[in-house]
Amino acid sequence: MKLPDKFEEKMQALLGDEFPEYLSCYDEPRYYGLRVNTNKISVEDFKKICPFEITPIPWIENGFYYDGDKVTPSRHPYYFAGLYYLQEPSAMTPANRLPVEPGDKVLDVCAAPGGKATELGAKLKGEGVLIANDISNSRAKGLLKNIEVFGIGNVLVLSEEPGKLEDYFAEYFDKILIDAPCSGEGMFRKDKKMVKAWEEHGPEFFANIQKSIITQAARMLKPGGMLLYSTCTFDGRENEGTIEYLLKKYPEFEILDIKGYEGFEKGMPELTASKSEEFAKTVRIFPHKMKGEGHYLALLRKGKPLPATDKKLLPGKKSKKKLPEDLEVFLEDTTWELDAARLDVHGERVYYMPEDLPDVCGIRFLRTGLLLGELKKKRFEPSQALAMCLKKDEYKKVLDFPVSDERVKRYLKGETLDVEDMTGSKEKGWYLVCVDGYPLGFGKLSGQTLKNKYLPGWRLC
């Protein structure tokens, strides 16, 4: 492929003798990757049921390569069950290297389409809160879908300028991930359209945006909290230069070591004004050094760690709020015990909110908490998001199909199913439809016929 002369000259200066090797990688095919959702299935169990050939990505514990020219994992029922996410291998690194723990308050600043946010949410294991934000409302819709498919309920999905979030979340977060908008130099092989975009808006344009985002995020991080900054570009202004800008403005931040891998290259202090060797702790990923596209990562901590505290909230006063009666009736078929104080009812819709949130009135959001469902006249209708959050053993009424059953794909296409072989003539109500034990959605049973309630916008075409 033809690369811009200006870009080639810059990379020649950056890589020196390695430049011909870097250039030759453009003649090689791109790499395809999938990342296992460890909140739904263990890596070992996934390997046992995976229907296509995979090989481990050596620096990502739950990541695998697959041959994207031979198989289409996005059409398999396990994809619809949220068992994995399709993601370029190098792009898995930022969320992997940010040490998120259950109970953390986590912000993904530029979260669409959800590759990083879904991994951060899986690491939380249902505890704490994930706030996934993207300034683009249309991109945030895709982000919401991916988060819901993954079964992440302790979430707020927002569409705001990062600067506006400061007013609500000052020093609120334990962990922040910024996968910053960038000139995309590391993605030229994967997406040739990025070359034209680079010629229109280059590194200087994006470096100013990145400086604004990282300083806004810095003010939302707790003392002792960690921030991981990443780009998919090679330019020093967007990488080490942005980190140097942050350190000058907020000297309480320090660069931390990142868990290494033999293909990782050290950051380049020589591209900074200070030439400090601290920048060598950051990581560069080059496509001629490992099986992935180009990336940059820097892990930072804000001041010294605070003394360890139990992240669980202290018991407060018992809420006098009661669950809506129709919701209570539905919950009799689940093992869940909901705290009525965390319910938020908007019209017919019922949401279950994460704990310990500030007042978010005034923020543009696509979702606050887990949408449980809708209160209709004398009945409760559960949501698709609730189905994806449930485990098979948490719900009494289950129709579990083997993946080989043709009714699985018919269900995903929105068709009504005959289930005489699985139900009695008098059974009725809301059933959780599963494939090999993993939920896909709900259906309503009557007379051994299952009326399809799979979300229309998610259906298999």
Residue pair 155/129 in contact (Cβ under 8 Å)? The answer is: yes
Distance CA 276, CA 334 (A): 57
* Listed residue (248, 270, 266, 250) closest to 258, CA to CA: 266
Residue of 50, 110, 182, 232 marked active site: 232
Q: Is 238 exposed, middle or buried (0-12, 13-18, 19+ CB in 10 A)?
A: buried
With beta carbons less than 8 A apart as the criterion, state whether 162 and 133 touch: yes
Phi, psi (5° rounding) for residue 372?
-75, -40
Tell me which residue has tokens 């030439």.
275
Q: List Cα–Cα distances, 126 to 42, 228, 419, in angstroms.
A: 16, 21, 33
Tokens of 274: 């200070």
- Shortest CA distance to 401 belongs to which of 431, 439, 436? 436
361 tagged catalytic:
no
Q: How far apart are CA 228 and CA 281, in angstroms?
A: 13
Residue of 97, 94, 113, 96 whose CA lies nearest to 36: 96
Return left, alpha or beta for 309; rule: phi > 0 is left, psi -120 to 50 is alpha, else beta: beta
Alpha-carbon gap, residue 135 to 153, rounded angstroms: 21
| C-alpha angle 30-31-34 in degrees, rounded to nearest 5 | 145
DSSP state of 279: G
Q: Which of the residues are catalytic?
A: 232
